[in-house]
Structures are given as structure tokens and as C-alpha cells.
Amino acid sequence: MAPSLLYPATQLPPASALALSQQAPAVLRSSPATVSSSPLSALFSAPEKPELWIKYENLILSCLRTGDDQAAHQCLERLVARFGNGNERVQALRGLVKEAEAQDDSALEEVLKEYEQILAENDTNIPIAKRRIALLRSMGRVSDAASALVQLLEFSPTDAEAWSELSDIYLSQGLYPQAIYAMEEVLLLAPNAWNIHARLGELQFMAATAPGVAGGSYQKYMAEAIKRFARSVELCDDYLRGYYGLKLVCKTLLSGGSNKTAKQTDDEFAIPDTRNTERLNELATAKLSEIVRHSTARDQGWRGYDEAEIAAARQLLSDDVAASSAIER
């Protein structure tokens, strides 16, 4: 079954994107080609639904991804007919189509120039500013993208999506402290986002296990990672990603952490003692195996998990079993 067209489709697997873009002709046929925005005609025709425009937007994304440029153009035309050329979101979508169709670097430079022209007229056009940053990053000019993004964030510091992108850019450059800082800003704006807590835990774990980390900051990162993963499973029952991270961190601490133990100086970042770590590890193992068992059996009410995530959890659990049986031998 193809996923619904009402959610943004940027992280779907290729097969679902293909299924979505194959819906394009049906959606285009079943909805009217133009919808008038005048209030008078709205009295006589069926009311327009906001879902339709969201569908068009998501269709453009999946069609561009699968290379169905014609359908993307049709969707874009309808959006232009309804909202006009000056609409900021429509401008960004138009830019997106041009980016996707650009054949070489000079065409991309053209698109970039267009973005800069629009921004010169109106530098509060946030969708276009975001597209420009994404294009810069896509062209490999990562430092330009980062500085543009920092500028954007100075101008609108409550944009959680932009902070998250900044964190991703820093992470791609290996700048873990900066990436963690940006992700913490996201958490300030969305304190209940369980996936962001898990993401921050992953960042802390990556920072801790990166080569060349001093003992003190290793401890700090690991303690923070435990805290973040624990918070994510506190915010969300049976959160596979949170328990996976929790187990991974505890396992690393229990197996190899002892040789890196430095004197604990800061009470705030104290790693829980070995007994508590073991108990956390046991809890995470029990939860993970419960999730894997139910999900593998396709039990009612346990079918929402991602296949790949379940496979990874199974792998982690079997590694654990293999290691413990090796110790017993």
C-alpha cells in the first residue's frame, strides 16, 4: 500500500516514492484543473480543501524524485494558478523543479543566481532562503551553506527545522560539539519530540566514540547519551530507537568503558555506577526482545515498526547473546 500523500515524502524508501508518483495521473485527473480563489464562485462550487494543495506539494517532491517531470510541472502549474507567482512557497517549489532539471553546474549557478535575486528584493523570504542553503550544500559548498544558515538563524532563531539542518551540516563536517549544540536548540523549541531526544543521544554517542576524544569528555558524552536515550523512552513507550541507543551505550560502557574511566569531576555529568548501568542494559534488552518478538510475529498492534530497524535490533541482540556465550565458554 502506498503511503498517504498528506505527509511530506522526503524520507520514504524508493519503492514508496515510486508508488506515490504513480498516483499522480489519478490525482491530477480527479481534481479540478483550476480552483478559483474569488469568494463569489466559492458560493456555487464545492469548497476547496487545503489537503489538495498539500497533496500537490508532496506529489511534486515524489515525481521529481522518480523523474516524472511532466507530472511535477502540471502540479506546479495548478499551484501557480491558485496562489500566483509571488507566493513564497510556490517560488520555492518552482526553484526545486529547476534544480531537479538542471543538467550541469552552470544551470545550477543560474538557479542560485535567481534565488539571490529574489532574496535581494525580499530577504525575509524564508522558503527561498532555505532552498538556497540546500542548493549550496548540494553543490558541495558546505561552508557557504553553513554561514548562510547561521545568518538565517540569527534572523529567525525559532526555526527548529533550520537548527536541525545546521546540526546535520556540522555533523557531516565532524564538528560534534557544534552539532550537539544545534540539536539542543531544536530540543528547546520542541521539548517533547522523542525522536529529537534519541537523535541527540545518537550525536552524543558518536561524539564519545569518535577517535581522539579525551577521557573526561568521553565520560561526559556517554552520560549525556544515556540521559537523552532514557528521556526518549520516557516520552514514548516501546520506542525502538530509544531502547536500541540505550542498550548500545550501556553495552559500550560495560564492555570497554572501564579502561577509559577518568576521575569524575563534575557531578552533573556523572555516569551511573556499574550496577545501575547493568540494570539499564537489562531493561533495554528485555524491551528490545519483546519488540522484536512481537514485530516478527506480526502481532496485532505491533506492526508500525520499520523492517530495517527491527533487523538492526535483532542483530544487536544476537551479538549480545554471542558475546555472553563466548564469555561463558
Partner 1 sequence: MTWISKSITTLGGLLLAHACYSAREHSALQSLRAASAASLTSLPSVTTSLPLDIIIETIVATFIILLGLVLGTRPLRPIEWRVWAGKIEREGEEGFIDGAGEVNKDYMGNPFSALESRPNFVDIRKQRREFAEWVKKGG
Chain contacts with partner 1 (rule: CB under 8 A) = 4, 6-8, 10-11, 14-15, 17-18, 61, 64-67, 92, 96, 99-100, 102, 127, 130-131, 133-134, 137-138, 160-162, 164-165, 168, 186, 190, 192-196, 199, 234-240, 291, 301-305
Q: Which three cell numbers stand for residue 1?
A: 500500500
| CA–CA distance, 128 with 77 (Å, rounded to integer) | 18
Cβ proximity to partner 1, 10 vs 45, nearer residue: 10
Cβ atoms of 127 and 88 within 8 Å: the answer is yes
Could you tell me the smallest distance in angstroms from the CB atom of residue 198 to partner 1? 10
Q: How far is the CB of 314 from partner 1 (least distance, A)?
A: 17
Please give the angle made by the CA atoms of 187, 193 and 194, to the nearest 5 degrees. Answer: 115
The smaller minimum CB distance to partner 1, of residues 96 and 222, is found at 96
Task: Tell me how far, at minimum, the Cβ of 78 lies from partner 1, in Å.
Answer: 19
Q: Which is nearer to partner 1, 10 or 324 (CB)?
A: 10
d(CA 76, CA 86): 13
If the CB atoms of residues 148 and 271 are measured against partner 1, the closer one turns out to be: 148
With beta carbons less than 8 A apart as the criterion, state whether 299 and 253 touch: no
**Helices 142-155 and 160-172, packing angle to 10 deg:** 150
Cα separation, 147 vs 140, in Å, equals 14
Q: Are 127 and 79 in contact (CB under 8 A)?
A: no
Nearer to partner 1, 137 or 220 (CB): 137
In the complex, what is the shortest distance from the CB of residue 252 to partner 1, in angstroms, rounded to a whole number? 24
Q: How far is the CB of 75 from partner 1 (least distance, A)?
A: 14
